[in-house]
């Protein structure tokens, strides 16, 4: 199993208070615990809420299995962590209506899950199937807090079920402890009897799922507790096998088969059948969820009959499904019925890699499109989700088959760390593969790697060779950089005329840096006849694209009246634009103009 940890906290909101919890994880056992840390008034300031979130964030920890065992389990750990967080008492905590789990999946990415709470069994909860992704910027956290509180208020209004007073009254009602005890007993009988009945029908049991493998499919029945329904899911066996290979967790294939049904990194199957609640134990009475007499009426024989009926229905559904879908390789459920990763894995298994890449681009164009994105952190400090892993897998397969576009994209991915960890040597390898096939973008990128010594020893002459190949195919960046080499005499003999020639080629394609470089050549008559008007023309082209150096150069021309009519107001405007981008020379000119103006007025 993957041993991975994300910083996380819990927030809970009721009619009066916000409670802030910190989270502790024992991933080897799939365990997580939240420890109450602070109680804030619901109308507390944003600054106060942020301060307490930060404290809980800093205290969120990964607890190894060994530490867990040495400490003596959650009960002991709970006391230790309460003391560390200086929490005086838990008695003031009331049952809340809506909760939020905040998981930092990267340095600035925060994934928010929404949970609903209800009265009945203590700490009963269920997901609201709503998630949000927020950006947390340490330099300006106010936007994060404002958006978080907006989400909290909206979700509270949408999902809260009772006020604190109603909850407390419900818990004080006669028989609540008896009800909870009866539910515990019913759950135990339900689990035991379900296991025996499942065995009779050929289903195995692990925790809250039952599963069986037939004709290349994995069927699993999910039943969380006695007050819920039973749901039947299916997925071809190859789904998790291929997914775990793609997600670089192939060792999971050696784990028990039950992992495919309830493992943290298994893909959800397709829901094909669902029962109503199996046990009629609820009541319509306000302030309570369950009725003691209804719970106690279920004998072992009753429970056995219920599960006998469920497994007969599910076995019939399995037979029907297999008759309609005899070949797992040809089973393609409707896209809206399966998780996005499941869908992509089916296309990948079918060999349609381009469709996979197109779908990934479509998903990325819609923020929040992926449910439960399954993110992992890497040593380079970046966090990558399932889309990144699937994209990298597709690019590798295509690149290894000689696809020139995939080779270039894979090289770029290794250079910038977009969907794979940064590895400049691998970037050079794949850039070279594509460059040798004539891809101009790869030729330019390979030249740049040689130019700066990234992944290979620095070699200006080799860089110039690849720049030229790309430049002759019309790559603007390569044309500009080749021009710079001719200007400086690095990698090629110094030749100002050739420099101006390649700058013009790139400038005519709209490359702002080349336009500014060409403007400087015209300004100084460097490799080209001096022409102040042409210099101002190219400076303006680049300045209008936002290039600070060109904005400064155009400002000087406007101030002096070189190549354009003198216009000090316009000059100030361009200096301001350049200064706002941090160009020191522009700020100096602005200060001098302001000083001169003040002296004139004096």
Q: What is the pLDDT of residues 397-449, one digit of tens each?
A: 999 999 999 999 999 999 999 899 999 999 999 999 999 999 999 999 999 99
Beta strands in 190-256 (DSSP E): 204-206, 209-214, 217-222, 231-236
> What is the number of domains present in the chain?
3
Q: How distant, in Å, are the alpha carbons of 115, 159, 169, 307 from that of 13?
A: 11, 11, 19, 38
> Nearest 10 degrees: CA dihedral of 556, 561, 564, 568?
70
Runs of H (alpha helix) within 352-423: 353-364, 386-400, 404-416
Question: What contacts 41, CB < 8 A, 6 or more positions away?
Answer: 16, 17, 18
Q: Are residues 129 and 238 in the same domain?
A: no
CB 26 within 8 A of CB 65: yes
Structural domain ending residue among the three candidates 274, 306, 331: 331
Last residue of a domain, one of 163, 196, 212: 163
Residue 564 lies in a domain: no
Q: Which residues of the chain fall short of a pLDDT of 70?
A: 1-6, 23-37, 61-97, 105-107, 116-129, 160-175, 264, 284-289, 368, 372, 601-602
Same domain for 107 and 192, yes or no, is no
Distance CA 466, CA 433 (A): 13
What confidence tens digit (pLDDT) does each residue in 62-93 have?
555 455 455 444 444 445 545 544 443 333 33
Closest CA relative to residue 431, chosen from 440, 422, 419: 440
Residues 6+ apart with CB under 8 A from 143: 135, 137
The predicted pLDDT at position 165 comes to 58
Cα distances from 210 to residues 184, 232, 255, 331, in angstroms, run 20, 9, 16, 22
34 shares its domain with 120: yes
Instruction: Report yes or no on 571 lying in a domain.
Output: no
Residues 314 and 202 in one domain: yes
Same domain, 296 and 444: no
In a domain, 1, yes or no: no
Same domain? 326 vs 349: no
Distance of alpha carbon 385 from alpha carbon 364, whole angstroms: 11
Encoded tokens for 99: 């909760």
Is 55 in the same domain as 140? Answer: yes
- Whether residue 350 sits in one domain with residue 376: yes
Task: Determine how many CB atoms are found less than 10 A away from the CB of residue 11.
Answer: 24
Q: Are residues 322 and 417 in the same domain?
A: no
Q: How far apart (Å, rounded) are the C-alpha atoms in residues 541 and 3?
A: 54
Q: Cβ(344)–Cβ(360) under 8 Å?
A: yes
Residue 601 lies in a domain: no
Is 168 a member of any domain?
Answer: no
Cα 312 to chain center, whole Å? 41
269 shares a domain with 232: yes
- CA trace torsion 592, 595, 601, 602 (10° rounding): -140
532: region left, alpha or beta (phi > 0 left; psi from -120 to 50 alpha)? alpha
Cα 115 to chain center, whole Å? 20
CATH number at residue 493: 1.25.40.10
- Is the same domain home to 288 and 347? no
Would residue 443 count as lying in a domain?
Answer: yes
Crossing angle of helices 460-471/440-452, nearest 10°?
160
Domain holding 77, by residue range, is 7-163
pLDDT at 87: 43
| C-alpha span between 235 and 263 (Å, rounded) | 14
Please indicate, yes or no, whether residues 430 and 543 belong to a single structural domain of this protein.
yes
Amino acid 30: pLDDT: 40
- Using CA atoms in the order 101, 105, 108, 110, what is the torsion angle rounded to 10 degrees? -20
How much is the pLDDT for 164? Answer: 52
CA–CA gap between residue 523 and residue 529 (Å, rounded):
9
Of the candidates 517, 477, 483, the residue with the CA atom closest to the CA atom of residue 499:
483
Determine, yes or no, domain membership for 567: no
**CATH (domain of 58):** 3.40.1590.10
**Given 304, 331, 358, which residue is the final one in a domain?**
331
Element (H, E) at 134: strand 125-135
Euclidean distance between CA atoms 264 and 372, whole angstroms: 11
Half-sphere exposure of 546 (CA within 13 A, CB side): 2
Cα dihedral 222, 225, 230, 231 sign: negative
Whether 569 is in a domain gets the answer no
d(CA 334, CA 337): 5
pLDDT at residue 119, rounded to an integer: 41
């Amino acid at each position: 199993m993957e041993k991975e940890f994300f910083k996380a906290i819990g927030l809970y909101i009721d009619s009066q208070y916000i409670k802030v919890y910190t989270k502790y994880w024992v991933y080897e056992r799939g365990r997580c615990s939240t420890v109450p840390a602070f109680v804030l008034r619901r109308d507390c300031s944003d600054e106060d809420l942020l301060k307490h979130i930060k404290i809980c964030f800093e205290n969120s920890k990964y607890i190894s299995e060994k530490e867990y065992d040495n400490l003596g389990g959650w009960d002991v750990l709970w006391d230790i962590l309460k003391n560390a967080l200086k929490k005086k008492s838990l008695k003031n905590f009331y049952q809340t209506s809506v909760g939020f789990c905040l998981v930092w999946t990267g340095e600035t990415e925060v994934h928010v899950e929404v949970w609903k709470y209800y009265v009945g069994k203590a700490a009963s909860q269920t997901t609201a199937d709503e998630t949000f992704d927020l950006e947390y910027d340490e330099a300006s956290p106010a936007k994060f807090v404002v958006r978080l509180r907006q989400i909290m208020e909206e979700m509270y209004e949408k999902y809260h079920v009772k006020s604190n007073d109603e909850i407390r009254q419900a818990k004080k009602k006669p028989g609540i402890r008896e009800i909870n005890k009866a539910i515990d007993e019913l759950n135990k009988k339900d689990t035991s009897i379900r296991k025996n009945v499942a065995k009779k029908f050929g289903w195995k049991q692990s925790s809250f799922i039952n599963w069986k493998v037939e004709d290349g499919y994995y069927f699993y029945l999910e039943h969380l507790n006695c007050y819920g329904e039973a749901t039947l899911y299916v997925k071809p066996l190859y789904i998790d096998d291929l997914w775990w290979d793609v997600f670089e967790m192939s060792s999971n294939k050696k784990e028990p088969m039950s992992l495919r049904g309830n493992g943290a990194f298994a893909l959800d199957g397709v829901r094909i059948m669902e029962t109503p609640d199996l046990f009629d134990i609820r009541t319509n009475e306000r302030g309570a969820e369950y009725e003691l007499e209804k719970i106690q009426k279920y004998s072992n024989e009753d429970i056995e009959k219920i599960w006998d009926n469920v497994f007969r229905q599910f076995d019939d559904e399995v037979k029907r499904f297999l008759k309609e879908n005899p070949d797992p390789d040809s089973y393609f459920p409707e896209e809206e019925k399966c998780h996005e990763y499941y869908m992509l894995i089916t296309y990948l298994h079918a060999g349609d890699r381009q469709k996979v890449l197109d779908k990934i681009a479509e998903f990325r164009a819609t923020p929040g499109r992926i449910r439960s994105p399954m993110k992992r952190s890497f040593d380079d400090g970046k966090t990558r989700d399932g889309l990144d892993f699937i994209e990298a897998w597709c690019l590798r397969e295509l690149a290894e088959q000689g696809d020139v576009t995939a080779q270039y994209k894979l090289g770029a991915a290794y250079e910038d760390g977009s969907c794979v960890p940064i590895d400049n040597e691998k970037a050079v390898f794949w850039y070279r593969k594509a460059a040798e096939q004539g891809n101009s973008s790869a030729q330019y990128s390979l030249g740049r790697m040689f130019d700066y010594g990234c992944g290979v020893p620095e070699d200006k002459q080799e860089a110039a060779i690849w720049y030229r190949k790309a430049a002759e195919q019309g790559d603007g960046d390569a044309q500009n950089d080749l021009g710079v080499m001719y200007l400086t005499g690095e990698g090629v003999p110094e030749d100002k005329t050739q420099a101006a020639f390649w700058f013009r080629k790139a400038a005519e394609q709209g490359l702002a840096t080349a336009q500014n470089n060409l403007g400087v050549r015209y300004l100084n008559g460097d490799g080209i006849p001096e022409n102040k008007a042409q210099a101002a023309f190219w400076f303006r082209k680049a300045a209008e694209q936002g290039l600070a150096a060109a904005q400064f150069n155009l400002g000087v021309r406007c101030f002096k009246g070189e190549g354009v009519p003198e216009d000090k107001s316009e000059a100030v405007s361009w200096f301001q634009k350049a200064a706002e981008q941090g160009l020191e020379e522009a700020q100096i000119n602005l200060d001098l103009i302001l000083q001169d103006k003040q002296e004139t007025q004096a």
